Structure 1
Amino acid sequence: MTERAVTLDVIDGVAHVTLSQPARGNPFDQRFCSELCDVAIECDETPEVRAVLIRAQGKYFSVGADLKWLGADRDLLPRRLKAATADLHMAVARFARADAPVVIAVHALATGGSVSLTAMADFALAARSASFYAAFNAIGFVSDSGGTYYFPRRVGSRKAADFVMLNEKWSAEDAQRYGLVSRVVDDEQLDAEALALATQLAQGPTKTFGEMKRLLLSSGDQPLETQLEFEARAISTCARTDDSWNAIQAVLARQLPHFEGR
């Protein structure tokens, strides 16, 4: 049986999404993009999923685009890219707009599209030895996977231009200082801290998290009055959930709220 490029396991409300081709460096090719899209849809459509944890196996987090795949046929290349990005970009959109918060744990070199995935995640943890390489310009490509959307939002437009146009490579500390990652942890603590964060999120008000994620996505593009209306409608939606009502009652009773994700 051919190994999967991306695996999914749901344990205690956390969807464990793993880039699972370590021998190849977890490259982005058509099969990877297709499987990542399938996994993103499964996470979005599975009520038991209340947080998503993205990790990778092997020496590299991801080497980015599979150059052998890109270099196989010049005439077919534009078509292959349109087909692959249709899946890849839908995966990014599904993760971004789903209720479940996304945590990514980068343990080594992340290149190209995997840096964009890091920027997409709601929470990004990096091992102290991790690094982030733009790589797009090195092969004459622009950023994909939502990079041109998320990089300016995470690190600012000036630093985003430095990264993608000057083909920079950032250390984990650089990435934290510029805003690409949330925190840097010792290598041996990365898995435990990422899982602890995902577990904490999986015990929270999942529907409310989803509304907040979507509000944050729209905040950079909408006029003030429109965003205010989005907030009013979102908070009203939250008020209809069992989690919100039960939490209000718990706080009134001076008890800790317990969230079921509904």
Structure 2
Amino acid sequence: MSLPHPPDAPADAPLLLERNGAIATLRFHRPGALNAVDVPMAQALLAAVRSLAQDDSVRCVVLCGAGKGFMAGGDLATLRADPVQGAADLLAPLNEAVALLAQLNAPVIAQVHGVAAGAGLSLMLQADLVLAADTTRFNLAYINLGTSCDVGASWALPRLVGLNRALEIALLGDAFTAVQAQQWGLIHRAVPAAELDAAVQQLAQRLANGPTRAYGHMRRLLRSAFDRALPEQLSAEAQAFGDCARTHDLREGIEAFYAKRPAAFQGR
């Protein structure tokens, strides 16, 4: 099990980077503010994702929140004094972190409970798989504050739920449940709150045992598919397959198939 916070991290750090073997957990850590993201948290997230991008031993990443919720959105105190500068200070590190997460080979899981609203929902949408407690409440929320969305929500939302549903979620600003989120395709699965930790750890370990470089190619191919014509996507697939053909994991997968045994992937 991971420690409550790493030995070298202050107890009041806005974000905790925890390791459990090949699984890295990024834990939003402002529980008294429902993990509302402020500039120090955004900067800490970027620093942590940069470190993960340089670490080939990371084979799965989990995003989660400390305390009673995943993330309640952006910290309005950051925006209140100077909305223009506050937004710029928040979005520069958050956007870079999201872009880096999308380029990782390691799959990204979001473990969501309590509330995921505003920037919290936007960050959740960047994960490859989302497991949520069945008691979670979701709200894109931006329109209720008089602003448009950020942190990639406008990119991810219509891809996940289609344009009509995305417009409904974004323009009405209504809260919705985990059951609705699963029905609409926003989350992978809703589970009883008491089972969430175990379900996430089981899924994370499964992914951490998988062919990490192949995962990386797969997630990048799927994320780029809407932006390419078919001939371009075919070329990108061929290049990715060619890279996988040079890996230990593909050779292991083929040998395991012929030996009728589970493959023992090493992520290389």
TM-score normalised by structure 1 residue count: 0.96
Q: How far, CA to CA, are the matches of 2:102 and 2:201 in structure 1?
A: 19
Cα deviations by residue, 1:181-226 (Å, 9 ceiling, x for unpaired): 0101001000110111011000000000000010011101100111
Q: How many pairs were matched up?
A: 259
Which of residues 150, 155, 178 is equivalent to 1:149?
Answer: 155
Partner residue, 2:201: 195
Amino acid at match of 2:92: A
**Counterpart in the other structure of 2:266:** 260
Question: How far has the Cα of 1:2 moved from its partner?
Answer: 7.2
Q: 1:231 aligns with which of 208, 224, 237?
A: 237
Partner of 1:130: 136
From 49, 54, 73, the equivalent of 1:45 is 54
- Would you say the 8 A contact 1:137–1:167 is kept in 2? yes
Larger mean Cα displacement after TM superposition, 40-49 or 176-185: 40-49
- In structure 2, the residue matched to 1:65 is 74
CA distance in 2, matches of 1:165, 1:96: 26
Query: Aligned partners of 1:134, 1:83: CA distance in 2, in Å?
Result: 21
Deviations 1:31-80 (A, max 9, x none): 1111111111112111111000111111222111111221123xxx3123
SS at match of 1:8: strand
Query: Structure 1 stretches (4+) deviating beyond 4 angstroms?
Result: none
The residue type equivalent to 1:33 in the other structure is: A
Q: Pick one of 91, 112, 116 that aligns with 1:85.
A: 91
The equivalent residue for 2:216 is 210
Q: Give the match for residue 246 of structure 2.
A: 240
Q: 1:68 to 1:79 in 2, by over 3 A?
A: closer
Distance (whole Å) between structure 1 residues aligned to residue 146 and residue 49 of structure 2: 29
- 1:219 corresponds in structure 2 to 225
Shift of 1:147: 0.1
Q: Which residue of 1 aligns with 2:23?
A: 14
Query: SS state of the match for residue 168, structure 1?
Result: coil
Provide the residue aligned with 1:102 in structure 2. 108
Looking at structure 2, the residues matched to 41 and 156 of structure 1 have their Cα atoms a distance apart, in angstroms, of 31
Root-mean-square deviation (CA), in Å?
A: 1.2
CA distance in 2 between partners of 1:15 and 1:177 (Å): 29
1:119 and 2:125 matched: yes
Q: Give per-residue Cα distances to partners, 1:4-33, cap 9 Å, x unaligned.
A: 111101211000111111012101111111
Distance, in Å, in 2 between the alignment partners of 1:111 and 1:138 is 11
1:32 is the counterpart of 2:41:
yes
Contact kept? 2:43, 2:93, Cα under 8 Å: yes
SS in 1 for 2:226: coil
Tell me the SS of whatever aligns to 1:58.
coil
2:4 aligned residue: none
Structure 1 contact 64–110 (Cα < 8 Å) conserved: yes
Q: Alpha carbons of 1:258 and 1:2: their partners in 2 closer, same or farther (altered >3 Å)?
A: closer
For the Cα contact (< 8 Å) 1:53–1:195, is it kept in 2? no
Q: Which amino acid aligns with 1:259?
A: F
User: Hey, what does 2:13 align to over in structure 1?
Assistant: 4
Question: Aligned equivalents of 2:207 and 2:79: distance in 1?
Answer: 38
Q: Distance in 2 between matches of 1:71 and 1:2?
A: 27
Q: Which runs of 5 or more structure 1 residues have no equivalent in the other structure?
A: none
